[in-house]
Amino acid sequence: MGIFSSKNDTAENASAPAAVNPDLAALTGDYTIDPAHSTLGFVARHAMVTNVKGTFNDFTGTLRLDGSDPSASTASVDVRMDSIDTGSEDRDNHLRSADFFATEEFPEMTFRSTKAEALGGNDYRITGDLTIRGITRPVTIDLEFNGAAKDPFGNERVGFEGRAEILRSDWGLTWNAALETGGVLVSDRIKLNFDISAIRKA
């Protein structure tokens, strides 16, 4: 994703050497995230001994990519929180409740990019504002650019994988239950993972 950053360059970014693959210049343009071929997922530790994995199945997003100047690129994602899916309807309903996401009051989670760094090769780091339950906090995502291709339908696609870790308590998500053996039912640390396919707009 070495193509993402904020619209506003800092002096530091302006003076840093450009670590941009010249082949990326051809990718410059506006893209729409394809939810049918993308995944927004998370992993939480459950009962201190196992992991619960989930996804959000309803989301939209746009990318403005500049392959020659990553600092001119942006990313925006909106997620419908009631589309959460962990494979258990009872658990999903609990996550939608006021104990967690309160989806009736706060129906969307949003991400807006603010900064990006090229780490070398296909590795990048993007920072942005993540809003959950009306609370906005910064989050940093490590990204890998997976490449670009034209699909059989003539769509020009780009792909990225991303990983991040957050503390859910930073967004007011503090519900928990103590275990008889010690510890708590749900971890505060949450792993986020993304697999993104985006189609270039005509």
Q: Are 145 and 196 in contact (CB under 8 A)?
A: no
6 lies in some domain:
no
Give the separation between CA 127 and CA 145, rounded to whole angstroms.
16
Cβ(197)–Cβ(157) below 8 Å = yes
Residue 2, domain member (yes or no): no
Q: What is the pLDDT of the chain when averaged over all its residues? A: 88
Count how many domains the chain has: 1
Residue range(s) defining the domain that contains residue 162: 11-200
Q: Rounded to whole angstroms, how far apart are CA atoms 95 and 82?
A: 9
Backbone angles phi, psi at 20, to 5 degrees: -115, 130
Provide the pLDDT for residue 18.
46
Q: With 70 as the cut, is the pLDDT of residue 2 above it?
A: no
- Under the banding of pLDDT at 50, 70 and 90, the label for residue 12 is very low
How many of the other CB atoms lie within 10 Å of CB of 169? 13
Q: Out of 1-5, 86-90, 133-137, 157-161, which region has the weakest mean confidence (pLDDT)?
A: 1-5
pLDDT in tens, 139-191: 999 989 999 999 999 999 999 999 999 999 999 999 999 998 888 999 999 99
* CATH code of the domain in which 98 resides: 2.40.128.110
In a domain, 179, yes or no: yes
Is residue 128 in a domain?
A: yes
Q: Is 25 helix (H, G, I), strand (E, B) or coil?
A: helix
pLDDT tens, residue by residue, 92-146? 999 999 999 999 999 999 999 999 887 878 888 899 999 999 999 999 999 899 9
pTM of the full structure: 0.85
177 located within any domain:
yes
3, part of any domain: no
- Determine, yes or no, domain membership for 40: yes
Tell me whether residue 1 is in a domain.
no
